[in-house]
């Protein structure tokens, strides 16, 4: 064998040896190991879902308890206001037609406390009654339909009653003859849940707290 052939054989051997000395690629993950990893991930995801669901239930219960507490607070406020304003109704000491005129409620648009023209006309007739009977004192009770929170409806009922009082006082009735109270949604005139029922419940009621005689 010539020197040239020996050199070629040696070079080939070096190439083969270098190729064999490289690290082989890592083996693919065993199917059992991959399945176990997928199962662990699924269990972790399920645990997260259960945790979120439990938190949602706890939050819902907390909101329900808070709403009940607020409703109880509103009822207590209504009772307090009634005691403060002397809300016990008395006989107005008026003729039947006059008593009916006094008791005629005025109504409001949804979520509003401003007086409509037709209701201003009713208040004009109540003004005439109060002017004709100087001893007569009244209470105006603001009411709402069932939509909205109990606190919001209590405040809205207060604004409605106050709007009617301002109108009468602006026409010359002494402010001391008129008290106001809000019942919010607690005293519906109509127990239904329709637009017609809600319209009847958005109102101011008028009762005598001191008779005309």
For 192-208, what is each residue's pLDDT tens digit?
Answer: 999 999 999 999 999 99
Please report, for the chain, the start and end positions of each structural domain, with discontinuous segments joined by +. Answer: 85-210
Query: Are the beta carbons of 139 and 202 closer than 8 angstroms?
Result: no
Question: At 68, is the pLDDT very low, low, confident or very high (cuts 50, 70, 90)?
Answer: low
Question: At 79, is the pLDDT very low, low, confident or very high (cuts 50, 70, 90)?
Answer: low
Of 1.20.1070.10, 3.30.1330.60, 3.90.1150.10, 3.40.30.10, which CATH number belongs to 85-210?
Answer: 3.30.1330.60
DSSP 158-187: HHHHHHHHHHHHHTT--GGGEEEEEEETSS
Spatial neighbors of 15 by CB under 8 A, at least 6 apart, are: none
Output the average pLDDT for the chain: 82
Whether pLDDT at 28 is above 50: yes
Query: Tokens for 194?
Result: 């329709």
pLDDT for res 12: 43
Q: What is the DSSP letter of 86?
A: T
Q: What is the mean pLDDT of residues 31-45?
A: 75
Q: What is the mean pLDDT of residues 72-77?
A: 59
Query: Tokens for 76?
Result: 């207590």
How far is CA 81 from each of CA 35, 173, 202, rounded to the nearest angstrom?
Answer: 69, 22, 19
Q: Is 142 helix (H, G, I), strand (E, B) or coil?
A: strand
Whether pLDDT at 9 is above 60: no
N-terminal to C-terminal alpha carbon distance within the chain? 146
Q: Interior CA angle at 90 toward 89 and 94, to 5°?
A: 125
Point out the least confidently predicted range of 47-51, 105-109, 142-146, 180-184. 47-51
Q: What is the mean pLDDT of residues 61-85?
A: 58
pLDDT for res 74: 58
pLDDT for res 32: 67
Distance CA 114, CA 106 (A): 11
pLDDT for res 102: 97
For 104-119, what is each residue's pLDDT tens digit?
Answer: 999 999 999 999 999 9
């Amino acid at each position: 064998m010539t020197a040239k052939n020996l050199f070629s054989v040696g070079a080939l051997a070096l190439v083969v040896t270098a190729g064999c000395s490289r690290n082989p690629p890592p083996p693919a993950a065993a199917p059992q190991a991959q399945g176990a990893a997928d199962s662990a991930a699924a269990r972790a995801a399920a645990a997260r879902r259960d945790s979120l669901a439990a938190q949602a239930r706890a939050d819902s219960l907390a909101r329900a308890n808070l709403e009940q507490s607020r409703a109880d607070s509103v009822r207590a406020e209504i009772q307090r206001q009634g005691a403060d304003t002397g809300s016990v109704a008395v006989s107005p000491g008026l003729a039947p037609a006059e008593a009916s005129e006094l008791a005629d409620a005025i109504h409001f648009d949804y979520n509003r406390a401003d007086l409509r023209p037709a209701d201003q006309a009713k208040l004009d007739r109540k003004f005439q009654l109060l002017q004709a009977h100087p001893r007569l004192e009244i209470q105006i009770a603001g009411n709402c339909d069932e939509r909205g929170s109990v606190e919001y409806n209590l405040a809205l009922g207060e604004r409605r009653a106050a709007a009617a009082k301002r109108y009468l006082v602006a026409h010359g009735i002494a402010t001391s003859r008129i008290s106001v109270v809000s019942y919010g949604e607690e005293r519906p005139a109509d127990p239904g849940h329709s637009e017609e029922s809600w319209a009847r419940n958005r109102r101011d009621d008028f009762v005598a707290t001191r008779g005309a005689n």
